[in-house]
Amino acid sequence: MKTQVAIIGAGPAGLLLSHLLDQQGVESVVLERASRPHVEGRLRAGVLEQGTVRLMRQVGVHDRLDREGLIHQGVKLAFNGRVERIDFVRQTNTPITVYGQTKVTADLIEARLARGGRIEFEAPVKAIKNYLEGRPRLVFDQQGQGRELICDFVAGCDGQHGQARRSIEGQGVQLFEKSTPFGWLGLLAEVPPVDKELIYANHPRGFALCSMRSPTRSRYYLQCPITDRVEQWSDAAFWDELRRRLPPAIAERVVTGPRLEMSIAPLRSSVVEPLRFGRLFLAGDAAHIVPPTGAKGLNLAASDAYYLSRALAAFYADRRTDLMDRYSQTCLRRVWGAIRFSWWYTQVLHKFDDDPFSQRLQSAELLYLTGSEAARTAFAENYVGLPFEPFE
């Protein structure tokens, strides 16, 4: 098999990249380890920045997004028994869109296949060869057979545990990492959300988040020790703890129901530098992980795909290599901006220790954030997404 760009991974980064390349006349093949139902069923992010929505429109995959995406004009913060709202549209003239990652990936896959694109499911990449010099070759398995894909460039969009990240070990990679001793216990239920907007709650017992996937489907999260196991948590224990961490007026409106899913996600920041190794480029979670607090993971995957598509398209159109040379530094500026925001927001909302000094600091920070026009604007700018840099 031969192609111009071999994309490893059919997550948001790889799928969006294949669409963006196609639009610019560049051929690609996506190799995905898992089956199509598995990829489409993976429950993860749910908040789309305006830039991500624009990219979905640009590639013409927006019919269902327009119909079912929930436009949110603001977000609520609950702390010290009060509830404050930050209005994104007032502060930045930009809303966010709540639309589940399961729908994003399903829509991108359906459209790609309908347009004749190639996505090979159940085709795990085992090795990436010749990416530093010569023509890269991907060695992958399919139906028990070893196969090869020869290409000009490789886009490693295969997440944090993928082959791309493994392949660059020992290549002078710098790894920047920070983790927390807690995670998020998430519960999905077919019940109406407690509010029209997301509610982020800072509470002495720990953080809670009220979120949703649709007007009838809610996603709630609780800060929990990273050592907790899902089996330790009954539905009743989850709902009780959630109510305890919310202001009473909100807690009494929570509609409970049996879990459709429950899982624990770690909170971790991790960045690999650089993002380019010869003819191999990293994008999305393969390059960086952000704690979910700022809802940035999926959105960074989308902006990486945008920058990489532009760089590769410029090469095929005009033999330009300068955009590829700048890919790493251009992406990393936006990535570190998102890491800064996500880490700060994580620190302000979560319980790190029992020290009353830390609690007073968090209170002061949240009062300043919600009380100052300048602070509200700075928060809104970051939450709705920093602008894409011109990349010409």
- Candidate ranges 52-60, 192-200, 292-300, 369-377; the one touching ligand FAD (CB under 6 A): 292-300
Task: Say how far apart CA 328 and CA 276 lie, in whole Å.
Answer: 6
In the structure encoding, which two tokens stand for residue 58, read together? 């640009």
Q: Tell me whether residue 383 is one of the annotated catalytic residues.
A: yes
Residue 9 contacts ligand FAD per CB under 6 A: yes
Residue span 94-133 as binding mask against ligand FAD, x where in contact by CB under 6 A, dash where not:
-------x----------------------xx--------
Q: Least distance (Å) from ligand FAD to the CB of residue 136?
A: 14
Q: Tell me whether residue 72 is one of the annotated catalytic residues.
A: yes
Taking CB under 6 A as the criterion, the residue among 5, 18, 28, 33 binding ligand FAD is: 33
For ligand FAD, which is the closer residue by CB, 101 or 214?
Answer: 101
In the 8-state DSSP scheme, what is residue 2? B
For ligand FAD, which is the closer residue by CB, 127 or 237?
Answer: 127
In the structure encoding, which two tokens stand for residue 30, read together? 């996506």
289: nearest Cα among 388, 183, 131: 183
Task: Say how far apart CA 98 and CA 71 lie, in whole Å.
Answer: 6
Residue 192 contacts ligand FAD per CB under 6 A: no
CA distances from 258 to 187, 196, 246, 326, 363 (A): 9, 21, 20, 49, 34
Q: What stretches of the chain adopt beta strand conformation (E)?
A: 5-8, 28-31, 47-48, 70-72, 74-79, 82-87, 96-98, 118-120, 125-129, 137-142, 145-150, 153-156, 174-189, 199-201, 208-214, 217-225, 259-273, 276-277, 280-282, 288-289
Catalytic residue, candidates 95, 296, 307, 327: 296
- Candidate ranges 55-63, 291-299, 327-335, 383-391; the one touching ligand FAD (CB under 6 A): 291-299
Task: Say how far apart CA 114 and CA 132 lie, in whole Å.
Answer: 34
Taking CB under 6 A as the criterion, the residue among 117, 206, 291, 297 binding ligand FAD is: 297
Give the total of residues touching ligand FAD (CB under 6 A).
33
- Candidate ranges 52-60, 284-292, 314-322, 349-357; the one touching ligand FAD (CB under 6 A): 284-292
Residue 163 contacts ligand FAD per CB under 6 A: yes
Catalytic residues: 72, 200, 292, 296, 383
Q: Which residues bind ligand FAD (CB under 6 A)?
A: 8-14, 31-34, 39, 44-46, 101, 124-125, 157-159, 162-163, 263, 265, 284-285, 292, 295-298, 301
